[in-house]
Amino acid sequence: ECSDLKPPCPYILPCLHLSVGLSVCLQESSSQTTKGAKSARRKRLKPCSLREVEVTVGELGLGYDSDETLLFRYCSGRCTARRRRNYDIALEHTRRAGLIKKGRRDKVQYSPCCRPIAYEKDISFLDNNSRYHTVQEVLARECGCA
């Protein structure tokens, strides 16, 4: 009986008994739609670029108590697979072949990601106790796929 399946099929989905004694839930022909939706989402994702958002200095989480608002500039967006270097291909392969130790904490990046390639040098502000501060390298200036 399909109701015995683990995980159980929602009653709206049909189930299929396979000859090997297993039953599977059939996804409503949605695998095609899911892939389509996913690639449509990927196309909508902007490429790696400099963005900005208005936040207070306190909201930056650097430990300052200040209500001054500034434009937090950050890097975000898609890095196309096209930009993979030979390094990335080699890294993925050696890792998969077990030539590089695979620790749980040892994360490796097989493809470039959107990061700042330059930072704003300094920014100054007055905190809520009337003290001025200058912080270094908190805003991105340029973004790249690195």
Partner 1 sequence: MKLFYIIRCHKVLFLVLFPVDEVGITTLNRCLDAAKACNVDETCQKLRTEYVSACIQPSARSGPCNRARCNKALRKFFDRVPPDYTHQLLFCPCTDMACAERRRQTIIPACSYEDQDKPNCLAALRICRNDYVCSTITPNYLDNSTSNVGPWCSCSASGNHREQCDDFLEYFHDNICLSDQGSPTGLSNR
What residue ranges bind partner 1 (CB under 8 A)? 54, 67-71, 122-126, 128, 130, 132-134
Q: Between residues 19 and 124, which has the closer beta carbon with respect to partner 1?
A: 124
Q: Between residues 86 and 134, which has the closer beta carbon with respect to partner 1?
A: 134
Q: Between residues 16 and 118, which has the closer beta carbon with respect to partner 1?
A: 118
| Closest distance of CB 64 from partner 1, Å | 13
84-90 contacts, C-beta under 8 A, 24 or more apart? 84/110, 84/111, 84/112, 85/112, 88/112
| Closest distance of CB 124 from partner 1, Å | 4
Give the span between the Cα atoms of 34 and 27, in whole angstroms.
10
| Closest distance of CB 125 from partner 1, Å | 7
Give the span between the Cα atoms of 51 and 143, in whole angstroms.
9
Q: Which residues of 116-143 are buried (b: 16+ CB within 10 A; e: fewer)?
A: beeeeeebebeeeeeeeeeeeebbbeeb
| Closest distance of CB 114 from partner 1, Å | 22
Give the span between the Cα atoms of 46 and 139, in whole angstroms.
20
| Closest distance of CB 118 from partner 1, Å | 15
Q: Check if the beta carbon of residue 74 is closer than 8 Å to that of residue 140.
A: yes
Q: Between residues 3 and 124, which has the closer beta carbon with respect to partner 1?
A: 124
Q: Between residues 28 and 52, which has the closer beta carbon with respect to partner 1?
A: 52
